[in-house]
Amino acid sequence: MTSSKIDLNKILRSAKLKATKPRLDVLSIINKAEAAVSHSEIQAKLESFDRVTLYRTLNTLIEKGIIHKAHVESTEVFYAMCTTSCTEEGHKHEHIHFVCDKCEEVTCIDSEPISIKLPNHIISEVRVQATGICDKCFV
Amino acid sequence: MTSSKIDLNKILRSAKLKATKPRLDVLSIINKAEAAVSHSEIQAKLESFDRVTLYRTLNTLIEKGIIHKAHVESTEVFYAMCTTSCTEEGHKHEHIHFVCDKCEEVTCIDSEPISIKLPNHIISEVRVQATGICDKCFV
DNA sequence: GTTTTATTGCAACATTGTTGCGGTATTTGT
DNA sequence: ACAAATACCGCAACAATGTTGCAATAAAAC
Ligand SMILES: [Zn+2]
Ligand SMILES: [Zn+2]
Ligand SMILES: [Zn+2]
Ligand SMILES: [Zn+2]
Protein backbone atom coordinates (compact mmCIF):
# COMPACT_ATOMS: atom_id res chain seq x y z
CA MET A 1 0.00 0.00 0.00
CA THR A 2 1.74 3.11 -1.23
CA SER A 3 1.35 6.51 0.34
CA SER A 4 -0.51 7.79 -2.70
CA LYS A 5 -3.03 5.00 -2.29
CA ILE A 6 -3.73 6.12 1.26
CA ASP A 7 -4.40 9.61 -0.03
CA LEU A 8 -6.84 8.37 -2.61
CA ASN A 9 -8.65 6.34 0.01
CA LYS A 10 -8.97 9.43 2.13
CA ILE A 11 -10.26 11.46 -0.77
CA LEU A 12 -12.99 8.93 -1.43
CA ARG A 13 -13.86 8.62 2.24
CA SER A 14 -14.24 12.32 2.75
CA ALA A 15 -16.54 12.43 -0.25
CA LYS A 16 -18.63 9.70 1.42
CA LEU A 17 -17.80 7.27 -1.33
CA LYS A 18 -16.86 3.65 -0.84
CA ALA A 19 -13.24 3.04 -1.66
CA THR A 20 -13.76 0.43 -4.32
CA LYS A 21 -11.19 -0.94 -6.72
CA PRO A 22 -12.58 0.79 -9.83
CA ARG A 23 -12.56 4.16 -8.11
CA LEU A 24 -9.10 3.72 -6.67
CA ASP A 25 -7.74 2.55 -10.00
CA VAL A 26 -9.34 5.37 -11.97
CA LEU A 27 -8.22 7.96 -9.46
CA SER A 28 -4.75 6.51 -9.40
CA ILE A 29 -4.40 6.80 -13.17
CA ILE A 30 -5.62 10.39 -13.24
CA ASN A 31 -3.60 11.32 -10.18
CA LYS A 32 -0.31 9.89 -11.46
CA ALA A 33 -0.63 11.47 -14.88
CA GLU A 34 1.15 14.70 -15.66
CA ALA A 35 -1.41 15.70 -18.24
CA ALA A 36 -5.14 15.17 -18.38
CA VAL A 37 -6.05 11.62 -19.36
CA SER A 38 -8.47 10.79 -22.13
CA HIS A 39 -11.43 8.54 -21.54
CA SER A 40 -10.14 5.98 -24.00
CA GLU A 41 -6.76 5.87 -22.29
CA ILE A 42 -8.35 5.17 -18.94
CA GLN A 43 -10.59 2.61 -20.57
CA ALA A 44 -7.59 0.90 -22.15
CA LYS A 45 -5.69 0.73 -18.88
CA LEU A 46 -8.70 -0.69 -17.08
CA GLU A 47 -9.90 -3.19 -19.62
CA SER A 48 -11.00 -5.54 -16.87
CA PHE A 49 -13.70 -3.13 -15.72
CA ASP A 50 -17.03 -2.86 -17.37
CA ARG A 51 -17.49 0.11 -19.73
CA VAL A 52 -20.51 1.25 -17.79
CA THR A 53 -18.61 1.14 -14.52
CA LEU A 54 -16.03 3.49 -15.94
CA TYR A 55 -18.65 5.97 -17.10
CA ARG A 56 -20.37 5.87 -13.74
CA THR A 57 -17.14 6.07 -11.81
CA LEU A 58 -15.95 9.12 -13.72
CA ASN A 59 -19.30 10.84 -13.34
CA THR A 60 -19.40 10.15 -9.63
CA LEU A 61 -15.91 11.55 -9.14
CA ILE A 62 -16.90 14.67 -11.07
CA GLU A 63 -20.10 15.12 -9.05
CA LYS A 64 -18.11 14.94 -5.84
CA GLY A 65 -15.63 17.55 -7.00
CA ILE A 66 -12.67 15.16 -7.14
CA ILE A 67 -11.91 15.22 -10.85
CA HIS A 68 -13.02 17.43 -13.70
CA LYS A 69 -13.55 17.13 -17.39
CA ALA A 70 -11.35 19.04 -19.75
CA HIS A 71 -13.74 19.54 -22.66
CA VAL A 72 -11.44 20.40 -25.46
CA GLU A 73 -12.36 20.76 -29.09
CA SER A 74 -12.10 17.10 -29.83
CA THR A 75 -14.47 14.19 -29.63
CA GLU A 76 -12.41 12.80 -26.80
CA VAL A 77 -13.05 13.90 -23.25
CA PHE A 78 -10.09 14.34 -20.92
CA TYR A 79 -10.04 14.08 -17.14
CA ALA A 80 -7.82 15.67 -14.51
CA MET A 81 -7.70 16.03 -10.74
CA CYS A 82 -9.48 18.95 -9.15
CA THR A 83 -7.89 21.25 -6.65
CA THR A 84 -9.25 21.72 -3.16
CA SER A 85 -11.46 24.57 -4.34
CA CYS A 86 -13.80 22.08 -6.01
CA THR A 87 -16.56 20.53 -3.96
CA GLU A 88 -19.80 18.66 -4.41
CA GLU A 89 -21.47 22.05 -4.59
CA GLY A 90 -19.48 23.01 -7.63
CA HIS A 91 -16.24 23.13 -9.49
CA LYS A 92 -14.22 26.29 -9.27
CA HIS A 93 -11.49 26.17 -11.83
CA GLU A 94 -9.36 29.13 -12.61
CA HIS A 95 -7.12 27.48 -15.09
CA ILE A 96 -6.48 27.04 -18.74
CA HIS A 97 -6.69 23.81 -20.66
CA PHE A 98 -3.75 23.77 -22.99
CA VAL A 99 -3.82 21.44 -25.98
CA CYS A 100 -0.49 20.77 -27.66
CA ASP A 101 -0.73 20.41 -31.44
CA LYS A 102 2.42 18.31 -31.44
CA CYS A 103 2.16 15.79 -28.60
CA GLU A 104 -1.62 16.22 -28.30
CA GLU A 105 -1.42 16.31 -24.54
CA VAL A 106 -3.99 18.26 -22.60
CA THR A 107 -2.62 20.06 -19.57
CA CYS A 108 -4.28 22.11 -16.87
CA ILE A 109 -2.33 25.31 -16.40
CA ASP A 110 -2.90 27.57 -13.43
CA SER A 111 -3.05 31.18 -14.43
CA GLU A 112 -4.29 34.56 -13.40
CA PRO A 113 -8.08 34.59 -13.45
CA ILE A 114 -9.24 35.87 -16.81
CA SER A 115 -11.69 38.68 -16.32
CA ILE A 116 -14.29 39.17 -18.98
CA LYS A 117 -16.97 41.80 -18.88
CA LEU A 118 -20.02 41.71 -21.11
CA PRO A 119 -22.68 44.39 -20.89
CA ASN A 120 -25.99 43.05 -19.57
CA HIS A 121 -24.57 39.60 -18.94
CA ILE A 122 -23.92 37.85 -15.66
CA ILE A 123 -20.79 35.79 -16.03
CA SER A 124 -20.49 32.96 -13.55
CA GLU A 125 -17.69 30.98 -15.10
CA VAL A 126 -15.05 31.36 -17.78
CA ARG A 127 -13.34 28.44 -19.42
CA VAL A 128 -10.30 28.92 -21.57
CA GLN A 129 -8.71 26.53 -24.00
CA ALA A 130 -5.42 27.45 -25.58
CA THR A 131 -3.86 25.60 -28.47
CA GLY A 132 -0.24 25.60 -29.57
CA ILE A 133 3.05 24.00 -28.63
CA CYS A 134 3.62 22.94 -25.04
CA ASP A 135 6.78 23.49 -23.01
CA LYS A 136 7.94 19.92 -23.50
CA CYS A 137 7.68 20.17 -27.27
CA PHE A 138 9.09 23.70 -27.26
CA VAL A 139 12.57 23.72 -28.82
CA MET B 1 -35.73 33.80 -54.29
CA THR B 2 -34.92 36.03 -51.34
CA SER B 3 -31.86 38.19 -51.16
CA SER B 4 -30.42 36.04 -48.39
CA LYS B 5 -30.69 33.01 -50.65
CA ILE B 6 -28.58 34.75 -53.28
CA ASP B 7 -25.94 35.44 -50.68
CA LEU B 8 -25.80 31.82 -49.60
CA ASN B 9 -25.46 30.70 -53.20
CA LYS B 10 -22.56 33.09 -53.61
CA ILE B 11 -20.92 31.83 -50.46
CA LEU B 12 -21.04 28.27 -51.71
CA ARG B 13 -19.85 29.22 -55.18
CA SER B 14 -16.85 31.13 -53.93
CA ALA B 15 -15.92 28.11 -51.82
CA LYS B 16 -16.10 26.01 -54.99
CA LEU B 17 -18.96 24.02 -53.62
CA LYS B 18 -22.06 23.03 -55.53
CA ALA B 19 -25.09 24.93 -54.33
CA THR B 20 -27.20 21.95 -53.41
CA LYS B 21 -30.43 21.93 -51.45
CA PRO B 22 -28.98 20.37 -48.28
CA ARG B 23 -26.21 22.94 -48.17
CA LEU B 24 -28.49 25.88 -48.82
CA ASP B 25 -30.98 24.67 -46.24
CA VAL B 26 -28.36 24.05 -43.57
CA LEU B 27 -26.71 27.39 -44.24
CA SER B 28 -30.04 29.14 -44.22
CA ILE B 29 -30.91 27.76 -40.79
CA ILE B 30 -27.56 28.73 -39.29
CA ASN B 31 -27.55 32.09 -41.01
CA LYS B 32 -31.03 33.09 -39.88
CA ALA B 33 -30.48 32.07 -36.28
CA GLU B 34 -29.53 34.68 -33.70
CA ALA B 35 -27.68 32.14 -31.60
CA ALA B 36 -25.62 29.12 -32.53
CA VAL B 37 -27.76 26.17 -33.58
CA SER B 38 -27.36 22.70 -32.15
CA HIS B 39 -26.85 19.69 -34.36
CA SER B 40 -30.08 18.12 -33.18
CA GLU B 41 -32.03 21.27 -33.95
CA ILE B 42 -30.72 21.35 -37.49
CA GLN B 43 -31.39 17.66 -37.81
CA ALA B 44 -34.97 18.14 -36.62
CA LYS B 45 -35.62 20.94 -39.07
CA LEU B 46 -34.22 18.93 -41.95
CA GLU B 47 -35.75 15.56 -41.25
CA SER B 48 -36.04 14.86 -44.95
CA PHE B 49 -32.28 14.75 -45.37
CA ASP B 50 -30.24 11.73 -44.57
CA ARG B 51 -28.41 11.82 -41.23
CA VAL B 52 -25.12 11.21 -42.99
CA THR B 53 -25.75 14.04 -45.42
CA LEU B 54 -26.13 16.44 -42.53
CA TYR B 55 -22.87 15.32 -40.94
CA ARG B 56 -21.03 15.61 -44.23
CA THR B 57 -22.63 18.93 -45.09
CA LEU B 58 -21.68 20.48 -41.75
CA ASN B 59 -18.14 19.16 -41.99
CA THR B 60 -17.74 20.47 -45.52
CA LEU B 61 -18.96 23.92 -44.51
CA ILE B 62 -16.52 23.93 -41.61
CA GLU B 63 -13.62 22.83 -43.81
CA LYS B 64 -14.36 25.68 -46.20
CA GLY B 65 -14.41 28.26 -43.43
CA ILE B 66 -18.10 29.05 -43.79
CA ILE B 67 -19.41 27.88 -40.44
CA HIS B 68 -17.74 26.90 -37.21
CA LYS B 69 -18.42 24.62 -34.30
CA ALA B 70 -19.02 26.11 -30.91
CA HIS B 71 -17.72 23.31 -28.71
CA VAL B 72 -19.26 24.04 -25.40
CA GLU B 73 -19.18 21.84 -22.34
CA SER B 74 -22.11 19.76 -23.39
CA THR B 75 -22.53 16.65 -25.48
CA GLU B 76 -24.31 18.74 -28.07
CA VAL B 77 -22.34 20.53 -30.74
CA PHE B 78 -23.49 23.97 -31.87
CA TYR B 79 -22.87 25.66 -35.20
CA ALA B 80 -22.62 29.30 -36.21
CA MET B 81 -21.62 31.34 -39.22
CA CYS B 82 -18.00 32.35 -39.58
CA THR B 83 -16.87 35.86 -40.27
CA THR B 84 -14.88 36.79 -43.34
CA SER B 85 -11.62 36.15 -41.51
CA CYS B 86 -12.18 32.41 -41.74
CA THR B 87 -11.00 30.58 -44.82
CA GLU B 88 -10.27 27.10 -46.03
CA GLU B 89 -6.79 27.59 -44.63
CA GLY B 90 -8.11 28.05 -41.16
CA HIS B 91 -10.60 29.52 -38.79
CA LYS B 92 -9.65 32.72 -37.06
CA HIS B 93 -12.11 33.40 -34.33
CA GLU B 94 -11.56 36.06 -31.77
CA HIS B 95 -14.77 35.68 -29.94
CA ILE B 96 -16.35 34.21 -26.88
CA HIS B 97 -18.94 31.49 -26.82
CA PHE B 98 -21.44 32.45 -24.20
CA VAL B 99 -23.71 29.77 -22.78
CA CYS B 100 -26.77 31.00 -20.93
CA ASP B 101 -27.70 28.87 -17.93
CA LYS B 102 -31.29 30.03 -18.23
CA CYS B 103 -32.28 29.87 -21.90
CA GLU B 104 -29.40 27.54 -22.78
CA GLU B 105 -28.64 29.51 -25.90
CA VAL B 106 -25.11 29.59 -27.21
CA THR B 107 -24.07 32.93 -28.64
CA CYS B 108 -20.91 34.09 -30.37
CA ILE B 109 -19.82 37.36 -28.80
CA ASP B 110 -17.19 39.54 -30.39
CA SER B 111 -14.71 40.82 -27.86
CA GLU B 112 -11.27 42.20 -27.42
CA PRO B 113 -8.72 39.48 -28.19
CA ILE B 114 -7.79 37.72 -24.98
CA SER B 115 -4.06 37.66 -24.60
CA ILE B 116 -2.56 34.81 -22.68
CA LYS B 117 1.11 34.30 -22.11
CA LEU B 118 2.59 31.04 -20.95
CA PRO B 119 6.35 30.64 -20.47
CA ASN B 120 7.88 28.22 -22.97
CA HIS B 121 4.62 27.74 -24.83
CA ILE B 122 3.65 28.85 -28.30
CA ILE B 123 0.01 29.83 -28.25
CA SER B 124 -1.66 29.76 -31.63
CA GLU B 125 -5.27 29.97 -30.61
CA VAL B 126 -7.34 30.79 -27.56
CA ARG B 127 -10.93 29.71 -27.15
CA VAL B 128 -13.09 31.12 -24.42
CA GLN B 129 -16.38 29.85 -23.13
CA ALA B 130 -18.27 31.94 -20.62
CA THR B 131 -21.28 30.74 -18.69
CA GLY B 132 -23.93 32.79 -16.96
CA ILE B 133 -27.04 34.76 -17.80
CA CYS B 134 -27.37 36.30 -21.23
CA ASP B 135 -28.61 39.80 -22.01
CA LYS B 136 -32.05 38.54 -23.04
CA CYS B 137 -32.53 36.72 -19.75
CA PHE B 138 -30.97 39.57 -17.77
CA VAL B 139 -33.60 41.34 -15.67
C1' DG C 1 -28.70 18.62 -74.17
C1' DT C 2 -24.95 15.65 -73.09
C1' DT C 3 -20.95 14.68 -70.53
C1' DT C 4 -18.36 15.16 -66.44
C1' DT C 5 -17.93 15.46 -61.74
C1' DA C 6 -19.40 16.31 -57.14
C1' DT C 7 -22.86 15.18 -53.91
C1' DT C 8 -26.58 12.52 -51.92
C1' DG C 9 -28.98 8.54 -49.88
C1' DC C 10 -28.76 4.10 -48.22
C1' DA C 11 -26.98 0.23 -45.69
C1' DA C 12 -23.97 -1.30 -42.56
C1' DC C 13 -20.91 -0.51 -39.02
C1' DA C 14 -18.24 1.75 -35.05
C1' DT C 15 -18.10 4.48 -31.10
C1' DT C 16 -19.99 6.76 -27.23
C1' DG C 17 -23.16 7.12 -23.63
C1' DT C 18 -27.48 5.52 -20.77
C1' DT C 19 -30.77 2.57 -17.95
C1' DG C 20 -32.52 -1.29 -15.08
C1' DC C 21 -31.57 -4.90 -12.22
C1' DG C 22 -29.59 -8.95 -9.79
C1' DG C 23 -25.37 -10.24 -7.59
C1' DT C 24 -21.35 -8.64 -5.03
C1' DA C 25 -18.26 -5.98 -2.33
C1' DT C 26 -17.66 -2.41 1.15
C1' DT C 27 -19.27 -0.39 5.55
C1' DT C 28 -21.43 -0.17 9.69
C1' DG C 29 -22.73 -1.93 14.02
C1' DT C 30 -22.32 -5.35 17.48
C1' DA D 1 -14.59 -10.97 13.76
C1' DC D 2 -19.08 -11.54 11.95
C1' DA D 3 -23.78 -10.35 10.27
C1' DA D 4 -26.79 -6.92 8.40
C1' DA D 5 -27.41 -2.94 5.75
C1' DT D 6 -26.21 -0.44 1.92
C1' DA D 7 -23.74 1.13 -1.97
C1' DC D 8 -21.58 -0.41 -5.95
C1' DC D 9 -20.43 -3.32 -9.96
C1' DG D 10 -21.20 -6.16 -14.03
C1' DC D 11 -24.19 -7.56 -17.47
C1' DA D 12 -27.61 -7.04 -21.02
C1' DA D 13 -30.07 -4.22 -23.73
C1' DC D 14 -30.78 0.06 -25.66
C1' DA D 15 -30.11 4.92 -27.50
C1' DA D 16 -27.54 8.40 -29.61
C1' DT D 17 -23.74 9.95 -32.25
C1' DG D 18 -20.55 9.57 -35.81
C1' DT D 19 -18.11 7.00 -39.92
C1' DT D 20 -17.35 4.43 -44.42
C1' DG D 21 -18.22 2.46 -49.06
C1' DC D 22 -20.84 2.51 -52.96
C1' DA D 23 -24.54 3.05 -56.29
C1' DA D 24 -27.95 6.53 -57.71
C1' DT D 25 -28.56 11.34 -58.55
C1' DA D 26 -28.11 16.18 -59.21
C1' DA D 27 -25.24 20.18 -60.39
C1' DA D 28 -21.87 22.30 -63.36
C1' DA D 29 -19.22 22.51 -67.50
C1' DC D 30 -19.02 22.07 -72.27
ZN1 LIG E 1 -13.10 20.68 -10.28
ZN1 LIG F 1 3.45 18.95 -26.54
ZN1 LIG G 1 -30.51 33.45 -21.79
ZN1 LIG H 1 -18.54 31.32 -32.50
Q: What is the pLDDT of residues A1-54, one digit of tens each?
A: 344 445 899 999 999 999 999 999 999 999 999 999 999 999 999 999 999 999
In which residue ranges of chain B is pLDDT below 70? 1-6
Q: What is residue B49's DSSP assignment?
A: S
Q: How far is the CA of B57 from the centre of ligand 1 (A)?
A: 36
Residues 22-81 of chain B whose Cβ lies under 8 A from any Cβ of chain A? 69, 71-73
Distance between the alpha carbon (CA) of A20 and the C1' atom of C24, Å: 12
C-alpha span between A61 and A82 (Å, rounded): 10
Domain ranges of chain B: 3-132
Note the pLDDT of residue B1: 40
Q: Which residues of chain A does B130 touch, with a Cβ-Cβ cutoff of 8 Å?
A: 116, 118, 121, 123, 125-127
Report whether pLDDT(A76) > 50: yes
Question: Which bases of chain D are contacted by protein, using any atom under 7 A from a CB?
Answer: 7-13, 17-21, 26-28
pLDDT at position B3 is 46
Kindly state whether B108 is in contact with chain A, defined as any CB-CB distance less than 8 angstroms.
no
pLDDT confidence band for A112 (50 / 70 / 90): confident
Outline where B18-127 has alpha helix (H). 21-32, 39-45, 51-63
Task: State pLDDT tens for residues A98-107.
Answer: 999 999 999 9
**Residue B69, Cβ neighbours under 10 Å: how many?**
17
Record: fold of B3-132: Arc Repressor Mutant, subunit A (1.10.10)
* B128 Cβ neighbours under 8 A, 6+ residues apart: A114, A116, A126, A127, A128, A129, B96, B97, B111, B114
Q: Which ligand is nearest to the CA of B131?
A: 3
Asked whether residue B64's C-beta has any atom of DNA/RNA strand C within 7 A, the reply is: no
pLDDT at B6: 55
Measured between CB atoms, which of B126, B132, B138 is closest to A130? B126
* Angle separating helix axes A51-63 and A21-32, nearest 10 degrees: 70
| Rg of chain B on CA atoms, in Å | 16
